[in-house]
Chains A and B, each alone.
Chain A
Amino acid sequence: MNRAELLACPECDLLQSDSAVPRPRKALCARCGAVLYQRHDQGLERTLALTAGALALFAIANAFPILSLELQGERTDATLAGAVSALWSQNMQLVAALVLFTAIIMPLAELAALAWLLAPLRFGLRAPQFGAVFQLLQFAQRWGMVEVFVLGSLVSFAKLGHLANVEAGIALWSFAGLMLVMAAIEANFDPRDLWERVAPV
């Protein structure tokens, strides 16, 4: 049997072969039901295009206010970076670092890693430090929490709505868009295809 057709389930270690032709779009482990892989035509090309879009949304989401509050003619804006520095100045450095890490650094790392791995592949090249950057991508996918942050923004918006005049900023819409694009990336990205293209066995 070809080595590339052997699969061990990451969640139960059951050894399975992937020699069935045609290969299914989505393969589940025969024993525990974990997703073994999802295959997409043009999945990597689509992922790269979506990554470019996500980077643009990420820039807008970080440059503009998420919420604006108007109280007695006074207006305050909350940007994501502003939230980090507000927590920091209240002696909550660790909480500030956690917000910085999960809402800014890790989502950016995920997008940067995808671009790093996929862009050279368009020209048939293997990006330098391929394995290490792929591991960074796996790490960033777990710790990036854009979708949780979007829900948090909506809850804050609703909570403040009782107290004062709040407005949703451009960044709130951008973050919501970023959340959708990153979900589309997750659905289209096919790591198996990526590894087969850069290093066939």
Chain B
Amino acid sequence: MNASAASLGLLSCPTCSLVSRAPAGDGALAFATCARCGSALAYRKPGSIGRTWAFLIAAMALYVPANTLPIMATSSLFGSSDDTIMSGVVFLWEDGSWYLALIVFVASILVPLAKIIGLVVLLLSVQLGWRSHQAERARLYRLVESIGRWSMLDIFVVALLVTVVQLTALASVRAGPAALAFGAVVVLTMMAAMSFDPRLIWDPVKEPRERHSHA
């Protein structure tokens, strides 16, 4: 057995994973539901490529203000400073906390960038109908899916610093506009990854043989 469920007219349930036969008749597929749990069934996530691009383009646009605007404004008796994500990393590095600098750099700068580039590669490869490197692209998809959440790190750090420092008389920390943009990038890239249907990577694989057998 070496065929996709879809090529045999079978639908698998995204909720309870029961495999069922697609209903016969024109238009019946649009209303297909799982007999066991009632979830809507489809061969592939509807509008996957368009939705993924939409979330991804919005994320790319917001990635710019997220990195250029200040994420945190600190003021104290010794003066005030606006920190972007990158200047925060540089500060930690120069301060000797290279391990913290590395964690924040990976979670806040590298992870969102890797996610955006990874999804662009996946989308283009599917739209251009690539037939090679499926296993590598499947791994890339799993990587993009699993690292996404870690870029929330900086939002949590800002939230805690703001809370603990805001009440002291000597210093105050305020969240900057980049916090909003950055939070949006995290949410949008996660939604982009969820909209992408990894089964599309494998769909062109069987085509040559099918064409052959029809001929």
Residues of A at the B interface (CB closer than 8 Å) are 3, 6-8, 10-17, 31-34, 66-69, 71-72, 74, 76-78, 82-84, 86-87, 90, 92, 94-96, 98-99, 102-103, 130-131, 134-135, 138, 142-143, 145, 148-149, 151-153, 155-156, 158-160, 162-163, 166, 191-192, 195, 199, 201
In the complex, are the beta carbons of A156 and B161 less than 8 A apart?
A: yes
Contact with A along B86-119 (1 / 0, CB 8 A): 0000001001010010011001000000000000
A32 contacts across to B, CB distance below 8 A: 134-135, 138, 198, 202
In the complex, are the beta carbons of B187 and A98 less than 8 A apart?
A: yes
B92 contacts across to A, CB distance below 8 A: 159
Q: Which of B142, B174, B186, B202 contacts A13 (CB 8 A)?
A: B202
For residue A198, give the distance in angstroms from its CB to the closest CB of chain B: 9
For residue A127, give the distance in angstroms from its CB to the closest CB of chain B: 12
Residues of B at the A interface (CB closer than 8 Å) are 1-6, 8, 10, 12, 14-20, 35-39, 92, 95, 97, 100, 103-104, 107, 134-135, 138-139, 141-142, 149-150, 152-171, 174-175, 179-180, 183-184, 186-187, 190, 194, 198-199, 201-203
With A92-B180, A95-B175, A134-B16 as known contacts, state yes or no: A11 contacts B198, CB within 8 Å: yes
In the complex, are the beta carbons of A87 and B159 less than 8 A apart?
A: yes
Q: In the complex the two chains form, what is the Cα distance from A152 to B108 in whole Å?
A: 12
A102 contacts across to B, CB distance below 8 A: 152
Q: Considering the complex, give the chain A residue whose CB is closest to the CB of B4.
A: A13
B179 contacts across to A, CB distance below 8 A: 92, 95
B167 contacts across to A, CB distance below 8 A: 74, 76
Instruction: List the 3 closest A-B pairs by CB distance, nearest first.
Output: A152-B156, A8-B12, A8-B5
In the complex, are the beta carbons of A92 and B175 less than 8 A apart?
A: yes
With A12-B198, A82-B163, A102-B152 as known contacts, state yes or no: A95 contacts B180, CB within 8 Å: yes
In the complex, are the beta carbons of B159 and A83 less than 8 A apart?
A: yes
In the complex, are the beta carbons of B164 and A13 less than 8 A apart?
A: no
Q: Considering the complex, give the chain A residue whose CB is closest to the CB of B44.
A: A13
For residue A184, give the distance in angstroms from its CB to the closest CB of chain B: 18
In the complex, are the beta carbons of A158 and B97 less than 8 A apart?
A: yes
In the complex, are the beta carbons of A195 and B16 less than 8 A apart?
A: yes
With A15-B3, A16-B1, A152-B156 as known contacts, state yes or no: A135 contacts B39, CB within 8 Å: yes
A162 contacts across to B, CB distance below 8 A: 95, 97
In the complex, are the beta carbons of B4 and A14 less than 8 A apart?
A: yes
Q: Which of B16, B17, B36, B104 contacts A155 (CB 8 A)?
A: B104
> Would you give 9 A-B contacts (Cβ < 8 Å), ordered by A?
A3-B18, A14-B2, A66-B160, A87-B162, A87-B163, A143-B190, A149-B152, A156-B161, A158-B97
For residue B126, give the distance in angstroms from its CB to the closest CB of chain A: 13
With A103-B156, A131-B39, A148-B152 as known contacts, state yes or no: A11 contacts B163, CB within 8 Å: no
With A83-B162, A99-B155, A155-B103 as known contacts, state yes or no: A142 contacts B194, CB within 8 Å: yes
Q: Which of A71, A84, A142, A149 contacts B168 (CB 8 A)?
A: A71
